[in-house]
Structure 1
């Protein structure tokens, strides 16, 4: 369990969100819903995209305007 004051992990947040969405479902219906909800991929956040694009730009050794153009295109995708 997370220490008090600490942010919940992504999995803990997802579990909380899925629990709210499950509402008053019971038994097998709830189990099936939770399994589907928890295994669903969350779309990448802007921060995740930024990290991935920065990594790609670094690997390609892009600089200046070339890097700006690459980052702009990468972040749109």
Structure 2
């Protein structure tokens, strides 16, 4: 973790030999905002609509937050329900 974001190495980056890649706070914040607004979000939507890279990692981070649950793993889909 650095001020520029979270550095993550995935199986894909390891296989390609590209090393760890940064996931900027902007990507995490955007995904979180959209998930809360829509109540659901898929990793495909992150890639295609929001242009969030390393979407599976972002899903894994979001899945740990209160109110978030994984509703599908193939494709990855998250649901959010605010807790009062």
Q: TM-score range by the shorter chain?
A: under 0.3
Normalised by the length of structure 2, the TM-score is 0.25
Please identify the structure whose Cα radius of gyration is greater: 1
Please give the TM-score of this superposition, normalised by the length of structure 1. 0.26
